[in-house]
Amino acid sequence: MSPATATVKPRGDFCPVCERFIGPAAVCPYCDEESARSGMLKVMRRAALILGLAGLALLYVAASHSTIPVMPIENITPMMNFAHVRVVGEVARRPFISRKRGEVDYLSFLVTDRGNELRVTANRDVARTLVERKAVPEKGAWVDVAGTLNISGGGRKKLRLYTADMLTIKGREESE
């Protein structure tokens, strides 16, 4: 090393002991010495991690405490395909229950709201759970149901239940 460069301190990209290029590494891979990184970089790394975890925690709290607003059936459009919505209405017909090999495989019923119709479906485990709990709504019952919309090319609207807890059967007194 020349006398002119001996007084110059190596930058953070070089090891302070062996003066080899180590890039962003915190420890020199050649001599296992800590790099001459400023303490601010370590603080920024830790702060980024803490802020990221705090943001995820806040997002979880916001999502778990939010409620799904009630959507009138007439406001459902094809642009809302796969949206998660909640509908309150009257069951228009007797529910259809399909059985395969003696077990409940499919459940479907029609919900009306101010003259508009929406088919609500539940498959396999969800349908079985509803039947076992005796939570299948009868014709004329008022329901509060939430699920994912499926709108076909012809504009037929379906709401798919993914859990039995998203269906609540209300009495006539509560809904009117």
* pLDDT above 90: residue 27: no
Quick one: which of 111, 163, 109, 173 has its CA closest to 136? Answer: 109
Spatial contact of 128 and 96, defined as CB atoms under 8 Å apart: no
| pLDDT tens column, 129-176 | 999 999 999 999 999 999 999 998 888 899 999 999 999 998 654 444
Average pLDDT over residues 94-115: 93
For 134, residues 6+ apart whose C-beta sits below 8 A from its C-beta are: none
Give the highest mean pLDDT range of 16-30, 48-62, 65-79, 161-175.
Answer: 48-62
Residues 68 and 85: their CA atoms lie apart, in Å, by 6
The count of other CB atoms within 10 Å of the CB of residue 108 is 16
Domains and CATH numbers, the chain: 3-64 (no CATH), 73-175 (2.40.50.140)
The overall pTM is greater than 0.85: no
Mean pLDDT of 41-53: 91
In angstroms, the CA 72 to CA 24 distance is 56
